[in-house]
Structure 1
Amino acid sequence: MSLTDMAIARIRELIRSGALPPGSKLPPEQQLAADLGLSRNLMREAVKALAVARVLEVRRGDGTYVTSLAPGVLLENLASAVELLTGETLLELTETRRLLEPAATALAATRIDDAALTKLAGHLDAMRASRHSPEQLNLHDAAFHRTIVAATGNETLTTLLEGISSRTLRARVWRGLVDGRAADQAITEHEAIHRALAARDAPLAQAAALMHVTTTENWLRANLHRPEEGQRVGSSSEVARTLP
């Protein structure tokens, strides 16, 4: 462990122990460095690293504070990290979505209110109206699923699913561009999810969401390396080049 890592670990321990609770202000740099037996340079490096990780917030002219440490804050950079993943990670992300999203949809069925159901219906209408525009259809597709996960009231689950959605959304748009049946199938599957949620039927909602995500996953597995003029098409890099 480097000296900077040791400094980071000591500050994190103060936070974990409750000595520095969420929202609290850190002691002055010189005092904290002395209390932890660190140099001021090491302290500065540790604070910078923890600020990037959203554990600390540096307020110019005021001091350094512990953030709320809420999942939406600490996991906010997950989407950025996912965007940098290389290799054959698209299928892994889709597989992860299949494991998480149906369970989230089942939970939402037990907690969703009428306002959220109305919002879902609006996104369904927008999907139907944009069935010939894969980009627009999938934007409303993503908003549809965000509304469902938000209805769970589980911020950690919401943030995790949002973090992986950007890469899988690009793949879904790519599917819409090359598969003429994708739009109608997606709309039908979303209608089934909406009906199950409206009925507050958790097992049916989970099954409908599982079928929907599995359909996308199976299509990607079949087409991710489809040969075309001797080249691989549909890889993560190809999807990124195809879409804006």
Structure 2
Amino acid sequence: MIIGYVAYLAAALVVVMFLSAAIRILREYQRGVVFTLGRFTGVKGPGLIILIPFVQQMVKVDLRVVVQDVPPQDVISRDNVSVKVNAVLYFRIVDAERAVIQVEDFMTATNQLAQTTLRSVLGKHELDEMLAERDKLNSDIQEILDQRTDAWGIKVSDVEIKHVDLNENMVRAIAKQAEAERLRRAKVINADGEQQAAAKLVEAGKMLAEAPQAMQLRYFEALHDIAGERSSTVVFPVPMDLLGHFIKQPGEER
């Protein structure tokens, strides 16, 4: 009798072990790559998956977007400036079969490929382009990575350059360049203002030349404007034609 109970217990234990080895549950974002006696037989999931123990094996694959930090890379730009650049990589698996079979470790492979592509692409551009045209550089890197990882069943959705670090000497040089550029713009703006003012003065001079009385009115207006300044001595020229009314001419009587 005891032997019978032991036999039943052993049988139940075998069934439990069999079911625990055979039953798999995959979440909505997971897929299972199934191998039967070492050969690929299909991709299953999500939900309840039943495997034949010791005959079939399954490799789980996560289909969610993976965010990887690309370590800082030493890059020499086209204008021979040494910088350190790091980036963020966004990708996901679109073909679980190729991601498991075609590459040993798709995470490491993608990260290493991102590092080499980052150095290769940025090395073709000047420092000013790295700082001012990040969107274009991000697009170029993403396109190259997406093409090269397509054979692994991986879709690179985005690449974002995070930091472009410069040494102190280069930072000071860029600051001097920016200061010189601002001074140049200030001088150009000042020269444009002088040119416009000169053009207006020429136009005003032509208008005053057509009416000499207007010049006298301008003299009086200027004298009125400075009349309130009592702290200084004002020397004001008087037009000769105005004095002509007070000077006695030969043959005239006062």
- TM-score normalised to structure 1 length: 0.20
Structure having the larger proportion of residues in strand: 2
Structure having the larger proportion of residues in helix: 1
- Which of 1 and 2 has higher RCO (CA within 8 Å, sep 6+)? 1
The structure with the larger Rg is: 2
